[in-house]
Amino acid sequence: MPLDEGPIRDLPPRPQSRNVLGGVLLPCSVAPLTGFFRDGCCNTGPADVGLHVVCVEVTAGFLAFSQAAGNDLSTPRPEYGFAGLKPGDRWCLCADRWEEARRGGFAPPVLPEATHEAALQVCRRDHLLAHALDRAPPG
């Protein structure tokens, strides 16, 4: 079935999401495909109880920290279509996990243009920007 046919095409358009800088939310990653909705963006909605809204570039230190905290993001889980993350991958991270890693000294770098404004419910903007990457997310 072509992408422009069927029930998906008939859904109302989702309002444009905003990032923590107040601009339009840019993509975080399509390889690996990230986001709560697996749309490449850190979009969120009522079903996203983990608030997967902080676009990060994962580091080895963060992956070790996360694993020690009980969330192994580096081991592949093919049953969930998850190949596992490696340093340098970009990922929509739970805001609580990023804040926990920041407090522990292991916060991965953030892409503010690709981080959903909902992150500000948990994380301070100045903390996110202090960990900002210098380069823009892929288009």
Cα separation values, 122 from 38, 98, 115, 116, 127, Å? 22, 9, 12, 12, 11
What is the 3-class SS of 70-111, one letter each residue?
CCCCCCCEHHHCECCCCCCCEEEEEHHHHHHHHHHCCCCCEC
pTM score, whole prediction: 0.85
Distance (Å, whole) CA 40 – CA 34: 5
Q: What is the pLDDT of residue 80?
A: 82
Distance (Å, whole) CA 77 – CA 57: 20
Tens digits of per-residue pLDDT, 63-107? Answer: 999 999 999 999 999 998 889 999 999 999 999 999 999 999 999
Tens digits of per-residue pLDDT, 97-138? Answer: 999 999 999 999 999 999 999 999 999 999 999 999 975 444
Q: Encoding tokens for residue 25?
A: 């939310």
Per DSSP, helices labelled H in 34-81 are 60-68
